[in-house]
Amino acid sequence: MKKKLKIDDNIFRLIIILVVFLLIAGITKGNSFLKVSIFQTMGRQMAEYGLMAVGCGICMISGGIDLSCVYVANLCGISAALLMQKNENAILPAILLAIVIGAACGAFNGFLISYLRIPPMLATLGSYQLFQGISVVISNGSTVSGAPEKYTDFGMKTVAGIPAAFLVFVLIIIIMSVVMGKTKFGARVFLVGTNAKCATFAGIKNKSIIIKTYMISGIVSGCAGLLSLARINSAKADFGTSYTMQCILIAVLGGVNPNGGFGTIPGIAIAVLILQVLSSYLNTFPDVSNYYRDCIWGIALIGVLILNHVINKKKSDKLAKMGS
Amino acid sequence: MKKQMNKVLRQTEFWVFLIIIFLALIIQARSGAFFANNNIVDIMRSMICPSLYAVCALLAFVSTGPDVSFPLVAALSSYLAITISIKINYDGPWFVVYLIGMFFGALMGALNGFIIVKYKFPSLIVTLGTSSLFSGILLGTFEAARMDLPATLQRFAELSLLTVKNEKTGLGSTLPMTFLILVAVYIAAYLVLNYTMVGRGVYAIGGDEISAERAGFNVKKIRFGIFVVNGMIASIAGLCYAVMSMRYLPNEYAGGEMVVIAAIILGGTRMTGGIGTLKGCILGTLLLTMVTNSLILVGISVYWQKVFIGAIIIIGTAIPAIQSIFGKNKGKKVKGGEAA
């Protein structure tokens, strides 16, 4: 029991933060914040960048970073939209196409990082320009819209009051938690992130693990692209460029160590919730500029980093004392 | 002689230089307009800001790691400098406006430096956070909008260093005075990096922090100083941008950081620190500027621009990686610490 609590320390902290935020929001802006419609909007918005954050997060756990999530999502969204524009009934093929493209983009990133040994940040930096460029070329630089209604209905659909997009998000979170927490593959990703050299000597095939990690990130980002296509019925090459920063922030807030090796998927999920509550809460103040959000997120990112640093230091000091 | 030849061949800068010449010849052959005087001046003109940013990125990479906050440091500090000089109706020499900007830039750089040095966080994450913070302050708190420059900068903007006119096409192009600022910053950076103890320290702490400390360098001070200087150079670049576009445009700054980083990596700066040259900065920036400026000359649609940039970044970054793999196979280690 005690051991279990220790592992979930960070998640526990995050849940407390979330509850405190919800309480503050509920007390100060109760009548305009605690509404079903607000929570539904939150669920829809959160699913998109939440998925990208999960993708970026697992790459960070493997010791790298994925800056291309947003652009992979856009590329997938655009190609799915183009296919559906041509053929109204090709909804399923379009979804498959998007996921395959996402996987291919991810695998490409993984190939650059593992085989060509380009540092992850640079490889994804270069590939995001490439993906964005391809999106611009195939969409002729304009917004692609006109997905069939059957598909866009999904964006507004609710199941028992819960937006379908949010359910997809929860489903993917559960799958990813199991993959990262319960499978051999997940354990290996953590090992590679902690110490790549040790992992090699432990007989792990680093290259294939890294390619798979980035592939998962690509697939998850592809799903995010599909969700945003369903929600706003359009896809654009430079949609949501600010999400890149946000994804990294969420991952770090959720307890992922930027140096690799630590982090949990549920932690990332709760961090997504916290950010969404915070930003929806800010939206209820009409006179507060949207740009303040950037400010708060910047402070939150650095604040959380410092907080984690201090807490970890205290912990290790305690352990050192116990040792002596 | 052979040894020297080998040394040149191993430098990334040499290969980038070859690519630039090759590319220039192709563009010239296809369009006949590359070596026209107005095109050359245009390229020089559009290189000014990226090259200044490149110095920031170089210093950060060589010593610590990526710094992505410089575009927003530039935006916020030049906003403050311009607003203050307008508010107090300042009408003295132009460089005082630059000094005000550099002061604020230094403050913002100090914030970056403090967090990075004190807590030893990855500089990428910290600077991402601070750039988000700065953008919030700029667009949220100050509600910055486009505005005209103070009279003194306006006059400075109208001066030109060189004006050329293409006889054939009738297109003209001018090189603004800000080009001299670029030259001055590069000369200063070159002298400091190569001929002072602090400059060597920048390379030393990036190469191996612990060895540098044992060798007597004050790692914390140098690192902090680098970020302060970075803030100052970023603010110079920001004001130059405002001067060259004749007004202050708050939304035009953000987003340039990735291309600048790509440029210096192409120019041979290592991600792992300790290696990187000013020569490489210029060459890398020149290559990317050429690509963005000249695609139209060759008749390739602007839509392909990003694809080309992405491909160049990937190929460019893969070359040093592949080189070092082959280098290891031969049993030769690539020597670190080469300076400009």
Which amino acid, one-letter code, is at B277?
T
d(CA B90, CA B268): 43
Closest by Cα among A124, A78, A100 to A247: A124
Q: What is the pLDDT of residue B89?
A: 85
d(CA A23, CA A17): 10
Q: How many CB pairs under 8 A join A and B?
A: 151
Q: What is the pLDDT of residue B320?
A: 67
Q: What is the pLDDT of residue B8?
A: 72
Residue of chain B minimizing CA distance to A287: B140
Q: How confident is the model at residue B318 (pLDDT cuts 50, 70, 90)?
A: confident
Are B140 and A121 inside 8 Å of each other by CB? no
Chain B residues lying within 8 Å of A126, measured CB to CB: 262, 310-311, 313-314, 317
Mutate to test the interface with B, among A75, A116, A122, A293 (most CBs of B within 10 A): A122
Q: What is the pLDDT of residue A324?
A: 63
Q: What is the pLDDT of residue B82?
A: 92
3-state DSSP helix/strand/coil % of chain A, to nearest 5: 80, 0, 20
Are B121 and A309 inside 8 Å of each other by CB? yes
Nearest to B135 among A117, A141, A291 (CB): A291
How close, in Å, is residue B312 to chain A by CA atoms? 8
Q: Taking the CB of residue B334, how many other CB atoms lie within 10 A of it?
A: 13
Nearest to A130 among B121, B140, B307 (CB): B307
Chain A residues lying within 8 Å of B305, measured CB to CB: 133
Q: What is the pLDDT of residue B240?
A: 92
Write out the two tokens for B50: 């990226």
Q: A residues 119-158 near B, CB within 8 Å?
A: 119, 121-123, 125-134, 136-137, 140-141
Q: What is the mean predicted confidence (pLDDT) over B297-322? A: 78
Q: How confident is the model at residue B196 (pLDDT cuts 50, 70, 90)?
A: very high
Q: What is the pLDDT of residue A4?
A: 45
Q: Summarize pLDDT for B291-306 with one digit per residue, the tens.
A: 888 777 777 777 787 7
Q: What is the pLDDT of residue B98?
A: 92
Q: Which residue has the higher pLDDT, A258 or B208?
A: B208
CATH class of the domain comprising B10-329: mainly alpha
3 state SS of A229: helix
Are B310 and A133 inside 8 Å of each other by CB? yes
How close, in Å, is residue B67 to chain A by CA atoms? 12
Q: Taking the CB of residue A244, how many other CB atoms lie within 10 A of it?
A: 22
Nearest to B132 among A133, A141, A297 (CB): A297
Q: In this complex, is the C-beta atom of A20 within 8 Å of any C-beta atom belonging to chain B?
A: no
d(CA A95, CA A91): 6
How close, in Å, is residue B81 to chain A by CA atoms? 21
Q: Which residue has the higher pLDDT, B313 or A172?
A: A172
Cβ neighbors of B187 (< 8 A, separation 6 or more) are none
Q: A residues 253-272 near B, CB within 8 Å?
A: 258-259
How close, in Å, is residue A109 to chain B by CA atoms? 10
Q: What is the pLDDT of residue B103?
A: 94
Mutate to test the interface with B, among A138, A302, A312 (most CBs of B within 10 A): A302
ipTM > 0.85 for the complex:
no
Are A137 and B303 inside 8 Å of each other by CB? yes
Q: How confident is the model at residue B333 (pLDDT cuts 50, 70, 90)?
A: very low
B137-140 long-range contacts (CB < 8 A, ≥24 apart) are B137/A295, B137/B76, B138/A291, B138/B72, B138/B75, B138/B76, B138/B79, B138/B250, B139/A289, B139/A291, B139/A294, B139/B250, B139/B251, B140/A289, B140/A290, B140/A291, B140/A292, B140/A293, B140/A294, B140/A295
3 state SS of B148: strand
How close, in Å, is residue A225 to chain B by CA atoms? 20
How close, in Å, is residue A119 to chain B by CA atoms? 7
Question: Is B90's pLDDT higher than 90?
Answer: no
Q: What is the pLDDT of residue B229?
A: 94
Q: What is the mean predicted confidence (pLDDT) over B262-275? A: 83
Cβ neighbors of B174 (< 8 A, separation 6 or more) are B41, B45, B160, B161, B162, B163, B164
Q: How confident is the model at residue B329 (pLDDT cuts 50, 70, 90)?
A: low
Are B133 and A134 inside 8 Å of each other by CB? no
Cβ neighbors of B223 (< 8 A, separation 6 or more) are B63, B64, B113, B116, B117, B205
Residue of chain B minimizing CA distance to A291: B140
Q: In this complex, is the C-beta atom of A29 within 8 Å of any C-beta atom belonging to chain B?
A: no
Q: Which residue has the higher pLDDT, B75 or A149?
A: B75
Q: What is the pLDDT of residue A5?
A: 44
Write out the two tokens for B183: 């030259």
Q: What is the mean predicted confidence (pLDDT) over B207-220? A: 89
Nearest to A119 among B141, B143, B271 (CB): B271
**CA angle B250-B254-B260, nearest 5°?**
135
- In angstroms, how far apart are the furthest CA atoms of chain B? 65
Q: Summarize pLDDT for B2-20 with one digit per residue, the tens.
A: 777 777 777 778 888 888 8
Q: What is the pLDDT along chain A (324 residues), one digit of tens a residue?
A: 344 444 567 778 788 888 888 888 778 777 776 777 777 878 888 888 889 899 989 998 988 888 888 899 999 989 988 888 887 777 888 889 999 999 999 999 999 888 887 888 878 888 888 888 888 888 887 888 777 777 777 777 777 777 888 888 889 999 988 988 888 888 888 888 888 888 888 888 888 889 999 999 999 999 998 888 888 888 887 777 778 878 888 888 888 887 778 888 888 888 888 888 888 887 777 777 777 777 887 888 888 888 878 887 888 888 888 766
First to last CA, chain A: 26
How close, in Å, is residue A281 to chain B by CA atoms? 17
d(CA A229, CA A75): 11
Per-residue burial over B202-233, b if 16 or more Cβ lie within 10 Å, else e, is bbbbbbebeebeeeebebeebbbbbbbbbbbb
Pairing state between β B172-176 and B160-165: antiparallel
Are B140 and A290 inside 8 Å of each other by CB? yes
Q: Summarize pLDDT for B16-70 with one digit per residue, the tens.
A: 888 889 888 888 888 777 888 888 888 888 899 999 999 999 999 999 888 888 9
Alpha helices by DSSP H, chain B: 2-10, 12-31, 37-63, 70-87, 95-119, 123-136, 151-158, 178-195, 197-207, 209-214, 219-245, 257-266, 278-298, 305-329
Q: Summarize pLDDT for B108-156 with one digit per residue, the tens.
A: 999 999 999 988 888 888 888 898 889 888 888 888 888 888 888 888 8
Residue spans of the domains in chain A: they are: 62-238, 242-305
d(CA B86, CA B148): 9
How close, in Å, is residue B196 to chain A by CA atoms? 31
CB A77 within 8 A of CB A235: yes
Residue spans of the domains in chain B: they are: 10-329
DSSP annotation of A264 reads -
CB A165 within 8 A of CB A44: yes
Nearest to B143 among A121, A289, A305 (CB): A289
Residue of chain B minimizing CA distance to A310: B119
3 state SS of B165: strand
Which stretch of DSSP H or E encloses residue A262? none
Q: How confident is the model at residue B336 (pLDDT cuts 50, 70, 90)?
A: very low
